[in-house]
Amino acid sequence: MSDPTWTVTVPERSGQLVTVREVRASDAAWLFELLSDPAVTTHLSQPPPSADAFAGFIAWAQRGRAEGKSICFGIVPQGLTAAVGIVQIRALEPSWFAAEWGFALGAAFWGTGIFVEAASLVAEFAFTTLGVHRIEARAVTDNARGHAAVQKLGAVAEGILSKAFRKDGRLDQQLLWSITKADWEGRDRNAVTRVTSAEARHHIAQAITETDRLMARLPRQEPSSEVTPYPFFLTDSKSWGTAVRERKAVATSAAPSAATVTGKRARPRVLLIDDNVTHLDLYEMVVQEVADVVRASRGEEGYQLACRELPDLVVMDVLMPDVNGLTVAKRLRANRQTTHLPIVILTGDAAAYAQAQIEGLAFSAILTKPCPASVLLGVVKAATVA
């Protein structure tokens, strides 16, 4: 029998190394920096693309909790106040008889014992407070770390899900794991000893110091006072891009696009903006496989084309001789007709890449040059899917 009070307030649960609690808006900047690390995201859905988007994800997660559909816990090591990872759990049917969970933890904290303790605290909450009978987890078949993690919790592999996860233009298999309440209660609690040694605590302290140093180097980001909900589940790539499409639907209801007036386009239309014509030629060769292409070699030209064509996606460089890409992006977001447009930043300049990360413009992706064709194609497909 579940306890319905969790939809109003989720109590904190603490172990010897870590506390789990509901994610908060103040976690957005930390989670953005730590969970955007390629080492973390290799086998997961594309994370929210900015601190503002992470704030939107947190708002969405809190709404899911209020509706009794899901919860997102922040993983907070002893000695910190901000979350360095998350554990998501969502109902697979209304009674919470079956649920699914997903995990992500900043790479600095891998191997410290934090994951097992945090996941165990959430599992206990699921079985005792939510009334869950069975929890499932999914991980792509080559995610060895993910498989080892859920196995430590006592989960068993049940089967392979064919072509179940979309990432970077691929359709990967996922392995389905599960653990039941009876298995959880009957597990050998000594089989996986929680790390409490001085050495483990030393590793955690080092990870905290490293994370503090990283955050101190970054410009301070505060989420906007108003955020757009950003749906995101770690092992469900269908959630990526949903928020962009929701924003598009709202905007077009107020200002009909050319596509609405003239009829639905047969294929998505992508606007490419880069002052390097060779790069434009290469991008067009990749993108035209899945979309029609319009192109501009200057920032102002690109902005005018975006307003006139209302493309399904804008892919642009940052450094251009007249108006840089970030300025163009701000103007597009400020224009009611184009505020909904998904935007991908693609740059080879480290400073421009860092600046794009902190702008809070809800980019669909921020990619570095040279960008593999498969990555660019995957981003375009995900951002323009109907």
Which one is predicted more confidently, 330 or 207?
330
Which one is predicted more confidently, 72 or 370?
72
- Whole-structure pTM value: 0.60
Token pair 């597990």 is found at 187
Q: How far is it, in rounded angstroms, from Cα 113 to Cα 161?
A: 29
Domain boundaries, the chain: 4-217, 241-384
Return the pLDDT at 45.
84
Confidence of residue 242 (pLDDT cuts 50, 70, 90): very low
Q: What number of residues does the chain have?
A: 386
pLDDT tens digits along 122-148? 999 999 999 999 999 998 888 888 888
Token pair 């902005």 is found at 303
Least confident of 6-20, 96-110, 245-259, 327-341: 245-259
What are the C-alpha distances in Å from 226 to residues 25, 149, 215? Answer: 11, 36, 23
Return the pLDDT at 223.
52
Contact 181, 133 (CB under 8 A): yes
User: Within 10 Å of residue 32's Cβ, how many Cβ atoms?
Assistant: 25
Q: How far is it, in rounded angstroms, from Cα 6 to Cα 24?
A: 15
Kindly indicate whether the domain formed by 4-217 is annotated with CATH number 3.40.630.30.
Answer: yes
Rounded mean pLDDT, 223-228: 65
Token pair 């009829």 is found at 263
pLDDT, mean over the chain: 81
pLDDT tens digits along 270-311? 999 998 887 887 788 888 888 899 999 999 999 999 999 899
- For the cut 60, the answer to whether the pLDDT of residue 197 exceeds it is no
Contact 55, 227 (CB under 8 A): yes
Return the pLDDT at 78.
85
Confidence of residue 202 (pLDDT cuts 50, 70, 90): low
Which one is predicted more confidently, 63 or 161?
63
Return the pLDDT at 218.
53
Rounded mean pLDDT, 309-337: 92
Q: How far is it, in rounded angstroms, from Cα 331 to Cα 312?
A: 17
Phi, psi of 202 (to 5 degrees): -65, -40
Contact 367, 376 (CB under 8 A): yes
Four-CA torsion 258, 264, 268, 274, nearest 10 degrees: -10
- Residue 264: CB partners within 8 Å, gap ≥ 6? none
Q: How far is it, in rounded angstroms, from Cα 382 to Cα 386?
A: 9
**Percentages (nearest 5) of helix, strand, coil residues in the chain:** 40, 20, 35
Which one is predicted more confidently, 174 or 217?
174
CATH of domain 241-384: 3.40.50.2300
Token pair 């996860």 is found at 165
Q: How far is it, in rounded angstroms, from Cα 48 to Cα 360?
A: 11
Contact 280, 274 (CB under 8 A): yes
- In terms of C-beta density within 10 A (0-12 exposed, 13-18 middle, 19 or more buried), how is residue 264 classed? exposed
pLDDT tens digits along 151-171? 888 888 888 887 778 776 677
Confidence of residue 12 (pLDDT cuts 50, 70, 90): very high
* Secondary structure (3-state) at 345: strand
